[in-house]
């Protein structure tokens, strides 16, 4: 277990009340980390905290809308007040308010998506990485998407923001690597979350979707959580600036 030991570490997870974020919170706690569970609404976060505490772990719920800098700052300050430091910053929260072609994207919509999906991750990194650098140890994980790797029919703006997150991770990794701070992104494919509920609850749509996946299934939240634990733990000590794709093989096939 040494390679995946997070005892003594403090992890902050945005979008942590459900789906991939919740799975990451639970997995980090199971491997010994104290976890700050954050999302826009406090009550669902408190539910995850109770799950962690029921298993003997330590956790704190803090509400935060990542679109507002003052709330992001309060999240970081509250996390330090609760646990004294931040070792692992998981930037998972994101929005996707637009389904349609790029020609329909307004300036305000563009700013909203890029602000929540990219700028907030820069805020979180800039607020947490300096203390990691002082200790010569720290991890930032940005949850992106395979939408940032290829064109998409209706979520193009979302894909643009996720592609930007790849480069943000690379740039931060370059700047902070000499201080032993590692920054990586994870690009999930379709995962069994509320975001894709319409697909996996419809057997016909589900079968059509997985026909192009070599593993013949969509992902589960724990499939992504395991990668996050690896990146945050000693097992990931020599990985930085990378995009780790977890998509059941969807992007390696030519199927459309």
- Annotated catalytic residues are 158
pLDDT tens-digit series, residues 42-68: 999 999 999 999 999 999 999 999 999
E-assigned strands of the chain?
Answer: 10-13, 34-39, 59-63, 88-91, 138-143, 181-188, 243-246
Distances (CA, A) of 125 to 31, 73, 171, 212: 23, 11, 11, 36
Query: Is residue 209 within 8 Å of 218, Cβ to Cβ?
Result: yes
pLDDT tens digits in sequence order for the chain, 256 residues long: 799 999 999 999 999 999 999 999 999 999 999 999 999 999 999 999 999 999 999 999 999 999 999 999 999 999 999 999 999 999 999 998 888 999 999 999 999 999 999 999 999 999 999 999 999 999 999 999 999 998 877 889 999 999 999 999 999 999 999 999 999 999 999 999 987 787 788 888 889 888 888 999 999 999 999 999 999 999 999 999 999 999 999 999 865 5
Please tell me the distance from the alpha carbon of residue 223 to that of residue 147, in angstroms, as a whole number.
18
Please tell me the distance from the alpha carbon of residue 147 to that of residue 157, in angstroms, as a whole number.
9
pLDDT tens-digit series, residues 235-245: 999 999 999 99
Query: Is residue 52 within 8 Å of 103, Cβ to Cβ?
Result: no
Displacement of CA 91 from its chain's centroid (Å): 4
What is the value of pTM for the model shown?
0.95
What pLDDT is attached to residue 209? 83
The CA R_g of the chain, rounded to the nearest whole Å, is 18
What pLDDT is attached to residue 205? 85
Matching residue, tokens 């990794």: 173
Token reading at 139: 């991890």
Distances (CA, A) of 104 to 13, 110, 117, 159: 32, 10, 19, 15
Helix (H) or strand (E) holding 223: helix 221-232
Residues 6+ apart with CB under 8 A from 119: none
Please tell me the distance from the alpha carbon of residue 120 to that of residue 15, in angstroms, as a whole number.
12
Architecture of domain 2-189+227-245: 3-Layer(aba) Sandwich (3.40)
Domain-wise residue ranges, the chain: 2-189+227-245
């Amino acid at each position: 277990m040494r390679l995946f030991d997070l005892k003594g570490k403090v992890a902050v997870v945005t979008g942590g009340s459900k789906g991939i974020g919740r799975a990451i919170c639970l997995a980090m706690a199971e491997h010994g980390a104290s976890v700050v569970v954050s999302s826009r609404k406090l009550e669902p976060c408190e539910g995850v905290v109770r799950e962690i505490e029921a298993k003997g772990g330590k956790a704190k719920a803090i509400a935060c809308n990542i679109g507002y800098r003052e709330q992001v700052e309060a999240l970081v300050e509250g996390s330090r007040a609760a646990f004294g430091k931040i070792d692992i910053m998981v930037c998972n929260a994101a929005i996707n308010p637009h389904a349609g072609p790029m020609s329909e994207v307004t300036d305000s919509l563009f700013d909203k998506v890029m602000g929540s999906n990219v700028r907030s991750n820069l805020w979180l990194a800039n607020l947490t990485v300096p203390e990691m650098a002082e200790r010569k140890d720290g991890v930032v994980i940005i949850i992106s998407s395979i939408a940032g790797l290829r064109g998409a029919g209706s979520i193009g703006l979302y894909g643009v923001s996720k592609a930007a997150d790849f480069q943000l991770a690379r740039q931060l990794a370059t700047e902070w690597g000499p201080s032993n701070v590692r920054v990586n992104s994870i690009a999930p494919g379709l995962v069994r979350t509320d975001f894709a509920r319409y697909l996996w609850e419809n057997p016909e749509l589900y079968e059509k979707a997985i026909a192009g996946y070599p593993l013949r299934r969509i992902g589960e939240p724990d499939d992504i959580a395991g990668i996050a634990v690896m990146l945050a733990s000693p097992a990931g000590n020599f990985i930085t600036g990378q995009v780790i794709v977890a998509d059941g093989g969807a992007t390696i096939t030519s199927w459309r």
